[in-house]
Amino acid sequence: MKRKASAVWEGSLKSGKGLLTTDSGVLSNTQYSFGSRFEEGIGTNPEELIGAAHAGCFSMALSALLGEVDLVPQKIHTTATVTLEKTDNGFSITAIHLDLIARIPGAKQETFQSIAQKAKEGCPVSRALKVPITMKATLEN
């Protein structure tokens, strides 16, 4: 299974603008810019999207792992806070913090903590943030 998203950027970093689109259509020419990334401008930004992907992936992984021990969550609410900082090598995502609030009838605290840790380490987005990234670059005339 492969999923696709695309970005189009026009102009300089500060005055330019971009559009993000996903094959599913959930994002369709969604605006992003320097302002939406580094200030309080209108639109989304890559870090926000990574946070949404991580929170969603983790929540599903947690639900799956709970099911393996016959626990069914009534509600899993995960917030991912993505930290973008200027480093010696330029801007970098330096941390992601997951805040989890869950309502799981019959769950014991120790079991919940153990399964949440396993979901954090094992969800595909957590693992993806550690993998090598490949690229094909083509310059148009």
60 and 20 co-located in one domain? no
Q: What is the pLDDT of residues 35-66, one digit of tens each?
A: 999 988 889 999 999 999 999 999 999 999 99
Full-model pTM: 0.90
3-state secondary structure of 118: helix
Mean pLDDT across the chain, nearest whole number? 93
Task: For residue 49, tell me if it sits in a domain.
Answer: no
Estimate to the nearest angstrom the gap between the alpha carbon of 78 and the chain centroid. 11
For residue 130, what are the domain limits?
A: 54-141
How many structural domains does the chain have? 2
Residues 61 and 1 in one domain: no
Residues 85 and 124 in one domain: yes
Which secondary structure element, helix H or strand E, spans residue 35, and what is its range? helix 34-38
Query: 116 with 60, same domain?
Result: yes
CATH of the domain at 94: 3.30.300.20
Residue 93 main-chain phi, psi, to 5 deg: -75, 115
79 lies in the same domain as 109: yes
Alpha-carbon distance 114 to 116, whole Å?
Answer: 6
